[in-house]
């Protein structure tokens, strides 16, 4: 009887444990990030810093929402080509490529949720900023805009 009870308990708990694992997120430090546009407009965000391979692998997967002034910054120790996909990502994202001088090099806008298509910076970048889809167009972010992150530059 005890064995049946334990088996039933395991069977009932397994789906809940899997769902929790799929939605579990790594808690990352949140820091201010600002982007100074060529026209002098300052755009301010609060971003999570993803620095380790584990943090970067998790990224914004399984998130159901992301406020307009929030995002995630993927920081590379040295500039390198950054590659992403949107598998297990539920919201559209803009990916902003940031060069070694902390200026915007370009962006991939409105990445499609759940897509396994490769998204690449195609050039070495110091960091990649992920923000809600449509942010680049809404704010008019452009190549050459200056990015400042507390404690990084």
* Separation between Cα atoms, residue 128 and residue 101, nearest integer Å: 13
The answer on pLDDT for 79 being more than 60 is yes
Which one has a higher pLDDT value, 8 or 27?
27
Q: Is residue 19 part of a domain?
A: no
Q: Is residue 1 part of a domain?
A: no
Q: Is residue 81 part of a domain?
A: yes
The CATH number linked to 140 is: 2.60.120.1140
Q: Is residue 138 part of a domain?
A: yes
Q: Is residue 10 part of a domain?
A: no
Q: Is residue 8 part of a domain?
A: no
Q: Which two tokens stand for residue 14?
A: 């397994």
Order across the sheet with 42-50: list the strands. Answer: 104-111, 93-98, 119-132, 70-84, 42-50, 30-36, 146-149
| Domain span including residue 139 | 28-149
Mean pLDDT of 77-92: 96
pLDDT band (50, 70, 90) for residue 24: low
Domain count, the chain: 1
φ/ψ bin of 32: left (φ > 0), alpha (ψ from -120 to 50), beta (otherwise): beta
Q: Is residue 2 part of a domain?
A: no
pLDDT for 153: 86
Render pLDDT for 87-116 as a digit per residue (tens, 0 to 9): 999 999 999 999 999 999 999 999 999 999
The answer on pLDDT for 1 being more than 90 is no
Q: Over the chain, what is the mean pLDDT?
A: 87
pLDDT for 12: 38
């Amino acid at each position: 009887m005890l064995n049946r009870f334990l088996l039933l308990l395991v069977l009932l708990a397994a789906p809940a444990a899997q769902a929790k694992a799929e939605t579990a997120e790594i808690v990352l430090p949140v820091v201010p990030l600002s982007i100074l546009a060529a026209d002098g407009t300052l755009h301010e965000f609060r971003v999570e810093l993803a620095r380790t391979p584990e943090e970067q692998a998790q990224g914004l997967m399984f998130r159901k929402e992301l406020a307009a002034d929030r995002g995630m910054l993927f920081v590379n120790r040295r500039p390198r080509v950054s590659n992403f996909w949107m598998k297990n990502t539920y919201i559209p994202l803009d990916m902003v490529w940031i060069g070694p001088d902390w200026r915007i090099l370009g962006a991939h806008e409105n990445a499609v949720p759940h897509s396994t298509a490769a998204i690449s910076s195609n050039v070495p970048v110091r960091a990649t900023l992920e923000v809600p889809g449509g942010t680049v167009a809404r704010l008019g972010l452009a190549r050459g805009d200056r990015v400042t992150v507390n404690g990084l530059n």
